[in-house]
Structure 1
Amino acid sequence: MKIVILAGGSGTRFWPRSVKQRPKQFLALTSDETMLQQTYRRFLQVLPADKLFVITANRYRSLVQRQLPELAASRLLLEPEQRDTGPCIALTAFHFLSRDDDEVLVTMPSDHFMEEPEQLIEALRQAEQAAVSHRTIVTLGIVPTRPETGYGYMRTAVRKTDEAMLEVTAFVEKPPLAQAEELVRDPGVFWNSGIFVWKPSTIAHYMRQHQPYMWNLLSGGEDAASVYALLPKISVDYAILEKADSILTLPVRFRWDDVGIWTSLERIQTTDADGNIVGGRGKTFVDSTTDSIIYSDHPKTMIIGVRDLIVVSTAEGLLVCRKSDEQRIKTMLKTIEQDEGGA
């Protein structure tokens, strides 16, 4: 199987560290390496380099090349522009099919935190055996550990307790807290990891069936650069996964986090004695402050007498918000960009 690492996202919920010029996957958030470097080298421990591919937007080509100088040019796939994961995965499938290559693909986000690469590869090998079958999509389903409102969930049809693969019957996207609390109590519900195992021909089949406009544009003989701007901005979940008739999930229990929001760092990094995470290029002085996330690139920063806040200051801007409100960052940033665009 091949691994295709998706590295074209914008990571807006990590603003103002993650910005359009250098989004989340190109930042060192959980270690000294960037998220992209961690993901690529995790697989390089267990797979040959010629099985590893990265797809990103053309604007990030140089960032990928600087961070992964060992990645051959032939294994760097480029989107003409950012159009979400639906077009990205369709372009990936078309790339391989146009070369008569229908080997199973793992499409994998570049900005997730995972440990135990051997367990991950073992799970992917199991999924590969099922994905070889015609038109079968396999996902890795994470056994949920808490009611999480920022994740997608999958309901499954559990028939026997010893089944390795479970049939996905429904998707639930970012539920409110009350529903999330109900979901995590159901043994047949799993987090949607965003890790999919499938053949390029399987992707093409569902694209033709559910997104014919998109697929016809990509496969119609025109250069991708000339048609890509015409493609809809749509996630692969909405484009085909929620409409597909053969989706299986393999439940896994290894440590995983999508590192989607600032507070996800609290599950990965060690907090200080007061429950704070403090970072940045500058020197930060903290007094009478608890359970907060503070990042500053300014020479000196003082934080006094606050609790449960996210405070982030970079050359791109300043963020101050309650941790409970951080899901609003993406929406507010979009509103600001629209206002600036109309000014």
Structure 2
Amino acid sequence: MKVIIMAGGQGTRFWPWSVKKKPKQFMSLNSSRTMIQETYERFSTWLPPEKIYVITTKEYLGLVAQQLPQLSPDQIIIEPARKDTAPCVALASLYFIEKGENEVLVFTPSDHYISDTEVLFNTLKSAEKVAEIGNSIVTLGIKPEKPDTGYGYISASKENTIDSNVLKISEFIEKPEIETAKKLLENKNVYWNSGLFIGKPSTIEYFMKKYQKNIWDTLKDSTDLVKAYSTLPKLSIDYAILEKADEIYTIPTELSWDDLGTWRSLEHFYNKDSDQNIKIGNVKTICTNNCLIVSEICPTLVLGVKDIIIVLTDDGLLVCHKSLEQEIKKLINMEGEK
């Protein structure tokens, strides 16, 4: 198999730490390596280096080359613009089809936390076998630890499947309200959608021609990719293909996983104090509980608050109740973050 690391996103829910000029995949959470470097190393432990590719936008080409100098130029696929994952996946698949290659591709985000590399490897090897059959696409389903409104969900069934460890997906569920999330967890075959999916380039082509013919034909027939890309819709691969196609499967896994999409993801990496606060930087608190406080600039004093996220960087100040964390992206988009 080949691995395609998708690294063109902006990570707006991590504002102001993640900003357009340097989004979160090029930053380090709590180690000497950035998230994209950790993603690369996760796969390079068991795949030859020539099997790992990155797809990113032109504006981040320099950051990719700087942080992953081991990649050759033909291992970096350039998107002319940020158009969400459907055009991204189509462009990458077409890249290999035009080279006459149809090896199974693993599409993975560049900014996820996965602790057990061996479990991931074994699961992907199983997924590869399924993806080689017909026009099958396989996702990894994460066993939910709790009802969470920050993740998409997969509802699956053992009916019409092709292997005892593989479930046929019956429904993709967008990030739900908390009551819906609680009800989902009452069902046995419900999983978090990991965002990793596996399929052959020819399979992506097949479903693109079936459900998103305009995207595929625009890319395939283009003589000016920049111009052609500008006409494409912003569309997720889930909506474009996965929610519509029949041969979509999931392999349940108990990976320790997080999509690192929100500030509370830092709970994976930092210990809380006796008042359940996470404090990063020069931060002092009194009568403050269950808060996340980050200060990269100056001494910060916080008194008498609870359940609050406070982040101060050179690029801005965020003050947010934890219950509204998912709304950060909406506010950034409304304001047109520069």
Aligned to 2:283, what secondary structure does the other structure show?
A: strand
Q: Name the counterpart of 2:43.
A: 43
Q: Name the counterpart of 1:232.
A: 233
Question: 289-298 or 195-204, which moves further after superposition?
Answer: 289-298
Task: Render the CA deviation track for 1:168-219: whole Å, top value 9, x for unaligned.
Answer: 0111111111111011121111111110010000001111111111111100
Unpaired runs of 5+ in structure 2? none
TM-score for the superposition, normalised by structure 2: 0.96
Deviation at 1:111, TM superposition (A): 0.6
Whole-Å Cα distance in 1 between the matches of residues 292 and 32 of structure 2? Answer: 18
**In angstroms, what is the RMSD of aligned CA positions?**
1.7
User: May I ask how many residue pairs the two structures share in their alignment?
Assistant: 337
Contact 2:158 2:166 in 1 (8 A): no
Whole-Å Cα distance in 1 between the matches of residues 248 and 143 of structure 2? Answer: 17
Q: Name the counterpart of 2:164.
A: 163
Whole-Å Cα distance in 2 between the matches of residues 266 and 305 of structure 1? Answer: 21
Deviation at 1:74, TM superposition (A): 1.4
Q: Name the counterpart of 2:307.
A: 308
Task: Render the CA deviation track for 1:53-96: whole Å, top value 9, x for unaligned.
Answer: 11111100011111111222111111011110010000000000
* Runs of 4 or more above 6 Å deviation: none
Instruction: State how 1:1-343 maps to structure 2 within 5 Å.
Output: 1-159=1-159, 163-280=164-281, 283-337=282-336
TM-score for the superposition, normalised by structure 1: 0.95
Contact 1:111 1:258 in 2 (8 A): yes
Question: 118-127 or 219-228, which moves further after superposition?
Answer: 219-228
Distance 1:65 1:156, change over 3 A: same
Distance 1:118 1:55, change over 3 A: same
Q: Name the amino acid aligned to 2:116.
A: E
Distance 1:160 1:168, change over 3 A: closer
Task: Render the CA deviation track for 1:37-61: whole Å, top value 9, x for unaligned.
Answer: 1100111111110111111111000
Q: Name the amino acid aligned to 1:242.
A: E
Aligned to 1:89, what secondary structure does the other structure show?
A: helix
Distance 1:160 1:224, change over 3 A: closer
Deviation at 1:159, TM superposition (A): 4.7
Contact 1:145 1:184 in 2 (8 A): no
Q: Name the amino acid aligned to 2:316.
A: G
Question: 270-279 or 110-119, which moves further after superposition?
Answer: 270-279
Aligned to 2:336, what secondary structure does the other structure show?
A: helix
Q: Name the amino acid aligned to 2:85.
A: T
Q: Name the amino acid aligned to 2:223.
A: E
Q: Name the amino acid aligned to 1:69.
A: P
Task: Render the CA deviation track for 1:90-133: whole Å, top value 9, x for unaligned.
Answer: 00000000100100000000111001101101100000001011
Deviation at 1:316, TM superposition (A): 1.2
Aligned to 1:271, what secondary structure does the other structure show?
A: coil
Whole-Å Cα distance in 2 between the matches of residues 158 and 227 of structure 1? Answer: 41
Distance 1:160 1:248, change over 3 A: closer
Q: Name the amino acid aligned to 1:333.
A: I
Whole-Å Cα distance in 1 between the matches of residues 279 and 28 of structure 2? Answer: 14
Contact 1:157 1:166 in 2 (8 A): yes
Deviation at 1:274, TM superposition (A): 2.0
Deviation at 1:24, TM superposition (A): 1.3
Q: Name the amino acid aligned to 1:190.
A: Y
Question: 84-93 or 69-78, which moves further after superposition?
Answer: 69-78
Whole-Å Cα distance in 1 between the matches of residues 41 and 71 of structure 2? Answer: 11
Distance 1:159 1:211, change over 3 A: closer
Unpaired runs of 5+ in structure 1? none
